Amino acid sequence: MNSSLLLFMKFIKITIMLACVLNMPRVMAQSPVLTAGNIETVTIGSQDITFKCGNVYGKITVYNPSIIRVRLDKKPLDDDFSYAVVGEPQKTKTTIIQNNETITLETDSVKAIIQKEPFSIAFYTPNGELINEDEHGLTTSWVGTAVTTYKKLQDNEHFVGLGEKIGNLDRAGNGYMNWNSDVYGYSVTQDPLYSTIPFYIGIHHNINYGIFLDNTYQTDFNFGASNNRFSSFGARGGEMNYYFIYHKRLADIITSYTYLTGRMPLPPLWSLGYQQNRYSYYPQAEVMRIARTLREKRIPADGITLDIHYMDQYQLFTWNNSRFPNPVLMNDTLKKLGFRTTVIVDPGIKVAKGAPAYESGLRDDVYIKYPDGQAYTGQVWPGWCNFTDFTSQKGRNWWHKQIKFFAESGVSGIWNDMNEISTWGQKMPDNVLFDYDGHLTTHLQAHNVYGMQMARSSYEGAVEQFKERPFILSRSGYAGLQRYTAIWTGDNRAEDDHMLQGVRLLNSLGLSGVSFTAMDIGGFTGNPSIPLYTRWIQLGAFIPYFRNHTSLNSKASEPWTFGEDVLDIARNYISLRYQLLPYLYSTFYESTQNGIPVMRSLAINYTFDPKVLYPDYQNQYEFGDAFMISPFESGKDYGKVYFPEGIWYDLYTDSVQAGKQNKVIQLNINKLTVYVKGSSIIPMQSLVQSTAILPTDTLTIHIYNGKKNNSFIYYEDDGKSFQYQKGEYYKRKITFNPSNRNIMFNDAEGNYTSHFKFIRLILHGFDQVNNLSLESGSSKLENISYAFLSAAANTDPQGSASVAEACQVKCVVIKNNSNKININY
């Protein structure tokens, strides 16, 4: 071989090696992050577009004029299935325009502009104001099976909602994970907690919007944590599937969200009364002692709750015969005393050959399984257990039948616990299989929805077996849980920061579509101080579900166990709650109609007032539309209160504060700081010791003078049956029009006859008004002194008798009828 040929061959070899080296960085630089890419094909429908990008498939749908749904996946989109969404798409006038660069979908409420190269989406008002947009360069991408959508962080953007999440009311600067967890005695910085509601509301530049990520895998939200570029939301599996909601008013965003995910049913009236709980009340004689003591000490109450010690060795659908020898007689006696019984249930069925529930579950093949067909077994209170697959219709039907056990025992409420799923070790394997209603999946996808489906099963079974409205409570849940259950915030601590954190948790749940909420009054773990218990029991009167609960081996936490002074304060506030039941029940009715919560963050009605999100004022909230509650730590002597726009009356004295200002006030352990909004309408009744007892036949209507027109929907029915669904209700709109100096009771609607034969009008702030003009003639107003709380008991033999704080008001009594009542002043 000559030298020229050798040189040529070496040159070729070097060239090949150099090419390989030069190509290596290209291979190594291939990104592990998969982006959507450019839109390549588009199919346009009447109110949707279906498209294919370089790496993903997508569909964007106008769900109704204010909701746009976005779906993206690396593979062709799966069948549409959701445990959360029950609202159907509405036929909507939609304009869709496509050009080489963009696709525009527009309704009369919102506009979406989709960029084609690369794919991204931005939302605008009809006037062209930017609401929300993808972060350019990031948009939506996948890392392995995890998918995340990145949104450009707007200047001074705030975020609220996301359900049961700790921290400040404003989520800005923080990140959160959704993976339902059993977190006994959790800290006030702990995340995640027990439930998952992947819905939040963004606020900026006098604009607000909502985003609901409907994905039951573990989800993660970042509201500018560790970055100043984006907010983001994503899931560890499944598709990117979110609903974008825009309205001018934040309240309307909640209404649209609950249009999607459903609204709560009317609760039984007894569940709005005071509930006495403990882990645990037993034996049967102790339960009766607690009930009779409540009556003897004139503490109004409607519920006694039994924890796991009522069961035989903690096995479901059993009674411990030595502790509860006659549960039917006990529950019947409690009903005669005006109490309803709620019992705890867990999802685990003890593996015990011959046990009726266990054997029945085996026969009906209802337990979750490993891939090899063996039932999954986890350890909880009874020992080793199998677990009902509540994501299958077969499993839910089986559970419905088991609820008959409680119906036959005289039980009225079901408390679903440990349904995250919780097992000792807290490490259920990923490969456990769930039916997922015909979409077979693993624990990774089913975990977050399991608790909600258990609550659903309990609700459906109780409706079927109890033959009246049941009360259902759950520790865990997913978006849409409000259709079936109330929820409480789990195993909190007897500490001041837990009391205030609990307020924010309930306000956040309300912002996330859940109205029927609770925290354990007094704290579940630990022992509250006397001042802390006092503050908490006062606060409980203004919480949707009023539940006093404490743990095993803690001190007793009934109101009388903290001394006579605390007993007197507790009795005062529990009694006030019972007098407010017409207002509270009507407010719950409102929630069934529009999803607006009973316990309302100030961000709902004062969204663009920046002070409502300040840490100093974030614990303030409205209870219905009339009351503003300002809770403080038990040891404080002074506190700062912010008064939003309007006129505000001190509940106890009627002293008036102008809005748009903050004020330092002196605190008093004997009373909770409560204000009433000007123009409010508040119906009240006489005091009863139980909702099983009828109040007197006079309905008191408090009207507070103000500058704004206001209305209130008063609602009444039998409080227990489903007859209201057949028209057996009494509903009436009451309006106050200060500019026309008019109060109007509209014609009553419905076929139910109101219990109240008379209306007692009490006017606050009407100092110059002495007469009312009705169609029947003129009525002279009586000047009276009105106290919302009774005077404190005189327990100190050397002290002087206390005098109740009172308001100087005007009063008149008129006959109630179903026809329009027109009153001028």
Q: Which residues pair with 414 in a beta bridge?
A: 343, 472
Catalytic residue flag (residue 491): yes
User: Six-digit token pair at 325?
Assistant: 């020898």
pLDDT at position 800, please? 53
The answer to whether the beta carbons of residues 621 and 650 sit under 8 Å apart is no
Q: What pLDDT score was predicted for residue 29? A: 63
Q: What are phi and psi of 517, to 5 degrees?
A: -130, 160
Phi-psi region of 804 (alpha: psi -120 to 50; beta: other; left: phi over 0): beta
For 737, list phi and psi in degrees, rounded to 5: -125, 95
The total of other beta-carbon atoms located within 10 Å of residue 732's CB is: 22
Quick check: helix, strand or coil at residue 120?
strand
One DSSP character per residue, 272-300 reads GS-EE--TT--SHHHHHHHHHHHHHTT--
Nearest to 632 by CA among 488, 542, 497: 497
pLDDT at 791: 82
- How many angstroms separate the CA atoms of 653 and 704, rounded? 13
Going along 65-168, which residue ranges are E strands? 67-73, 95-98, 102-106, 111-115, 120-124, 130-133, 140-143, 146-152, 158-161
Q: Which is catalytic among the residues 170, 346, 417, 520?
A: 417
Per-residue tokens: 489 = 């915030």
- Rounded distance between C-alpha atoms, residue 147 and residue 141, angstroms: 6
Give how far the C-alpha of residue 453 lies from the chain's centroid of Cα atoms, to the nearest Å. Answer: 16
The answer to whether residue 497 is catalytic is no
Query: Which one-letter amino acid corresponds to residue 650?
Result: D
* 238 phi, psi to nearest 5 deg: 75, -170
Tokens at residue 352, please?
Answer: 């015990």
Catalytic residue among 491, 568, 622, 717: 491
Residue 487: other Cβ atoms inside 10 A: 32
User: What's the pLDDT score for residue 776?
Assistant: 86
pLDDT score for 797? 59
Ranges of residues in the chain with a pLDDT under 70 are 1-29, 793-802
Torsion angle in degrees (nearest 10) through CA of 21, 25, 28, 34: -140
Distance CA 337, CA 175 (A): 49
Peptide bond into 280 cis (omega under 30): yes
- Two structure tokens written together for 752: 């139910």
Number of C-beta neighbours around residue 6 at 10 A: 10
Predicted confidence at residue 619, as pLDDT, reads: 98
Confidence at residue 803, expressed as pLDDT on a 0 to 100 scale: 80
The verdict on whether 417 is a catalytic residue reads yes
Q: Which residue among 252, 420, 520, 717 is the active-site one? A: 420
Per-residue pLDDT, 798:
59
HEC letters along 614-631:
CCCCCCCEEECCCEEECC
- Token readout for 565 is 């002074």
Closest CA to 387 of 328, 527, 379: 379
CB atoms within 10 A of CB 725: 11
Strand partners for 737: 742
Contact between 729 and 699 (Cβ < 8 Å): no
